[in-house]
Amino acid sequence: MQIKKVGVVGAGTMGNGIAQVFAAAGFSVLMHDIDEASLQRGMNAIRKSLDRLWNKEKITELDKNETLTNIQVTTQLEQMEDVDLVVEAASEKYEIKSSIFRTLDQCCKPEAILASNTSSISLTQLAGETKRPQRVIGMHFMNPVPMMKLIEVIRALQTDDEVNRLIHELSKQIGKTPVAVNDSPGFISNRILLPMINEAVFTLQEGIASVKAIDEVMKLGMNHPMGPLALADLIGLDTCLSIMEVLHDGLGDSKYRPCPLLRRMVDAGYLGRKSAKGFYEY
């Protein structure tokens, strides 16, 4: 099977980044979101990202224009009927993702591969929502997608060997490094990263240090490019909470209990950069 046309479900931070890297690699891309405003924001983010790369002389004017030409948008999932691969990048909620997978299973051609950018949810469970479980796989990109090299490739229990091989090769085609990870809550990246962020929130809740101090310790002492609380704001506090809940529910260990302060901040609508207020103000 050859992959020529790629669908991306979700035009948010991850979705538009995924659309950009596939389009930049020469693939025809169809990006979906629920309304025109979301699609417009996604396309504007892609244009800004390409402009930054052009200003740094990492791409040419021709590269920029060809990438944009390769991207079409739609508010109708049914228009994914002729894509060879769909990468779902919707909110990190099982109900939302499973509903999308059921719809895609109905409207995509039988040989199409259904991939998810989920950062924590079981691919085996998502595959079970479809009539093509052997053609379901995880492609967990990192943020910001155009810059970060890693893709965690997660096989569902049902994933076909050939589909797995194809996605590894495709990841290399778009300039990424695929790393095979087994299907387990949080996989590798978030099973390690999110408990660290959660513990940073606990140290803040307990008054051990200020937001700035916590981040400075991790940046200057551990050589992290960004402190854990600033990183939480970048990821989105609601997404951090969702992942911690998946870890807690899926692994059943109290060490994954979401910090109450994290939950309160999400309840207050302090979600980080996307709401202009989280641990920092933007």
- The two most distant CA atoms of the chain are separated, in Å, by 56
Mean pLDDT of 78-93: 96
CA 79 to CA 127: how far, in whole Å?
21
Mean pLDDT of 112-140: 97
C-beta of residue 39 within 8 angstroms of C-beta of residue 33? yes
Determine whether 140 is an active site residue.
Answer: yes
List the one residue out of 136, 138, 46 whose CA is nearest residue 92: 138
For position 34, what pLDDT does the model report?
A: 96
Expressed in angstroms, the distance from the first to the final Cα of the chain is 46
pLDDT class for 266, splitting at 50, 70, 90?
A: very high
Record the tokens describing residue 244, joined without a space.
């911690």
pLDDT class for 279, splitting at 50, 70, 90?
A: very high
**Which member of 70, 171, 190, 242 is catalytic?**
190
For position 226, what pLDDT does the model report?
A: 97
**Which member of 49, 152, 242, 245 is catalytic?**
152
In the block, which residue shows the tokens 């309160």?
264
pLDDT class for 255, splitting at 50, 70, 90?
A: very high
Determine whether 168 is an active site residue.
Answer: no
CA 27 to CA 46: how far, in whole Å?
15
CA 250 to CA 173: how far, in whole Å?
33
pLDDT class for 1, splitting at 50, 70, 90?
A: confident
Mean pLDDT of 197-223: 98
**Which member of 119, 120, 171, 198 is catalytic?**
119
* Per-residue pLDDT tens digits for 128-160: 999 999 999 999 999 999 999 999 999 999 999
**Which member of 16, 88, 116, 140 is catalytic?**
140
For position 25, what pLDDT does the model report?
A: 98
* Per-residue pLDDT tens digits for 33-72: 999 999 999 999 999 999 999 999 999 999 999 999 999 9
Asked if the model's pLDDT at residue 282 lies above 90, the reply is yes
Burial of 225 (0-12, 13-18, 19+ CB in 10 A): exposed
